[in-house]
Structure 1
């Protein structure tokens, strides 16, 4: 427990620091995290006998993150046409499988692409949160992280004390409806605190953002648990002592980040 707390504390400091140190550090840090998460995903599915194309998958992961990051940066308008290189790099996943002699080529292709959707795309949307206003602003990604952590904390505290009604026992026996409600409540309180310092949204809009994070962050957690159970592993990795792997640490972000981005995009562009 002590090791978990120490690791969590330093990791939180690094994550928040990456936001405060400017757009280049922010982009580089989350590009690194997304690539490590993809590496972790491919390593897990290999344990199940599947053979995703690791080099081509990583190349495409970097291309997706970087090229869509350039779309968000006003000063990078000259590089935006490079996004049309993606059909070429993505087609390489199919072409390389033609040259191999695997018995299940489309299973390998499918999991190569699934890794990109599961590990790269969510971080791409999370990075884009900082550019919703047109220029770099750390408020939205920081608020996202604070509310995601508030949800995890609230769900754990309330669920461990009052949890009786199982939420989705087949995939996560410890999660309860009481814990989910506790997570939503604590996240709403965090949204109230954020509203005192960040005037980007109204109080109700911050609260709705928190509710989305709670609901879909929990969904992401359940989906990652389903994935691990399907390949019979306890943790996605061991890169974070006491916490497991990066997919374990960011499971709440996987589904929530794209949906929160969509919500905020329409809120901030009305």
Structure 2
């Protein structure tokens, strides 16, 4: 527990500092985390991280998270890029004579989209065109983190009904509800800091969505790890596991909040 607390404090402090500093610190951190996350993903799937096909996956992640808007490559159509990645991964099955088979190719492409798009929207939120990216980023992170804390403590105190025991045996319905309530309350508190930016009703909706979708993101990662027979995606964070263990909710929440156009600047 001591190691977990120390790691959490150091990593959390560094993360918040980078978020406050903004570009290039925040973008650089997000790019680093995305690449480490993809490394964990392909290792978890039993793939070699440094062969040509895996390196193609790293480049795919970079396409999504690197700020290409400052370069001519920003004109590449995202749907065509996804198709190009699909084509190259499928071509790898032929070139390698099925050493990279269709299942491995599909997993690599899945990892590129799952991790790359998730981190892309974290960067886009921090770079919000209204100039309030720090506020929106902290709002979403606070909603996610408070949901996790609320679910944990509510579950420990009142949890009796298992939420999804086949996937995550320790999660309870009571804990999930507690996380949703706490996230909505914490999001509502952000109205006090910038009432001109965030109406109370929208703040509550953001908190509710972040909590519900964040808990689904957590379960998605739990389901994936259960299939692969691993407890953690990595060991880079002592006491916490890997990068993907820490960002599983983030990867789902940030794109989904944008999908619902819940941020007022959208």
Unaligned runs of at least 5 residues, structure 1:
none
Query: Which of the residues 218, 222, 229 maps onto 1:221?
Result: 218
1:189–1:100 Cα change, 3 Å: same
Deviation string 1:147-183 (CA, Å, 9 cap, x unpaired) is 1110110000000110011111110011111001111
Matches within 5 A, 1:1-270: 1-46=1-46, 53-66=53-66, 69-71=67-69, 76=70, 80-82=74-76, 86=81, 90=85, 91-102=87-98, 105-135=101-131, 137-199=133-195, 200-264=197-261, 267-269=264-266
8 A contact 1:52–1:112 mirrored in 2:
no
Superposition RMSD in Å: 2.4
| TM superposition score normalised by structure 2 | 0.89
Q: Per the alignment, in what secondary structure is the counterpart of residue 46 of structure 1? A: coil
8 A contact 2:217–2:249 mirrored in 1:
yes
Unaligned runs of at least 5 residues, structure 2:
none
Distance 1:191 1:180 in 2: 17
Q: Matched residue pairs, number?
A: 261
Q: Write 1 or 2 for the structure with the bigger share of helix.
A: 1
Q: Per the alignment, in what secondary structure is the counterpart of residue 232 of structure 2? A: coil
Q: Per the alignment, in what secondary structure is the counterpart of residue 244 of structure 1? A: coil
